[in-house]
Amino acid sequence: MPGGRVSVLGDAEEFEAALRTDGVSDVLVTGRGQFRARLTQVVLYRSRLAAIAETLPRVAVVAVPADMVLVSFPIDRGPSPIWGGIETRLGEMIALGPGQRLHARAVESCHWGTVLTPEQQLVDYGRAMTETRFIVPPVARWRPPAAAMRQLRRLHRAGIRMAEARIETITDVQSAHGLEQQLLDSLIECLSQRGDNEETRAACHHREILVRFEDLLGAKPPLLIADICVAVGVSESLLRACCKEQLGMGPSRYGRLRRLQQVHRVLRNGDPTTICVSEVAKEHGFGALGHFAACYRARYGELPSATLRRAPHPVVAELRFGRPRMKLL
């Protein structure tokens, strides 16, 4: 059913949950401070739109749904996420084909938009409009004609503004279908030109290495970097180069930050009467508890025991289809 939702989020875990249907998972905040995000989501007939404004650097794993194409672009002149090592600037867009999996990194606060649409629908319309075979590459950056890109951003903005203004038109099936048709026309015009920077074979290989690396980080107890390299089948120097390129840091630091965040989430959502900080730390691979406590405090500004004692569920305001409600994190 068509509709819209506006969420103001104060936590990366809730941000991750809100974007899970779009394929976003494992959001790791890499900057210090309180994460904040404003998320506007629109469901049309078969497509979905989103506009995201976030405040801190982070890395997220993105897995495009198997039958969908994800298009993303900057909303303003500020920075936008780097997708698998590919940067986009105002006037550019990145298209990700069905089932593609990669890391999306935000280096600072950014404002970006997405269109998620069924691949078959896009291909069918593209073939009909261009009278040629229409294919979206697995991963490619595009710089469409300026007029086509402006039209896409204008239509995307119109849908987002209707959701933010709680205009009932967005819940009307016929109106939603009409906006979706215009968006499809605009997408096809943008994607009819050859990709400005299609992913090279080497870049695809690096992205696949990082995906396998990410999967191995979930092992308990955590694997050593040397063991990860053996499992992935790459040298440590290549793994480090891939991590630097796509994560903005080395593999050891990324793994440590990821484990610290996992501990933080367990403690923040846990019951102080049943959870032991030292056991949680050891479960996530921290053996030297004094060093762990120091790293945790440097990261989150408090000792792990203080996180466990605090109330676990702050309240966040959310609007769904124009009706205010309260939601617990």
Asked whether the domain spanning 201-309 has the same topology as the one spanning 3-198, the reply is no
CATH of domain 201-309: 1.10.10.60
Residue ranges per structural domain of the chain: 3-198, 201-309
Contacts of 301 (CB under 8 A, 6+ apart): none
Q: What is the pLDDT of residues 127-142, one digit of tens each?
A: 998 888 888 889 999 9
Radius of gyration over alpha carbons of the chain, in Å? 21
Neighbours of 280 (CB within 10 A): 19
Give how far the C-alpha of residue 115 lies from the chain's centroid of Cα atoms, to the nearest Å: 13
User: What are 49-60's pLDDT values in tens digits?
Assistant: 999 999 999 999
Is residue 15 packed enough to be buried (19+ CB in 10 Å), middle (13-18) or exposed (0-12)?
A: buried
- List, as one string, the DSSP characters of 161-176: HHHHTT-GGGG-HHHH
- The hierarchical CATH code for the domain 3-198 is 2.60.120.10
Q: Is the peptide bond before 137 cis (omega within 30 degrees of 0)?
A: no
Mean pLDDT calculated for residue range 22-50: 94
Query: Residue 95, SS3?
Result: strand
Taking residues 203-225, report their average pLDDT.
92
> Residue 119 is encoded by which pair of tokens?
């691949």
Tens-digit pLDDT profile for residues 280-314: 999 999 989 999 999 999 999 999 999 999 845 44
Residue 200: Cβ-neighbour burial (10 angstroms; 0-12, 13-18, 19+)? exposed
pLDDT digits (tens, 9 = 90+) for 82-134: 999 999 999 999 999 999 999 999 998 999 999 999 999 999 989 998 888 88
Residue 168 banded pLDDT, cuts 50, 70, 90: low
pTM above threshold 0.85: yes
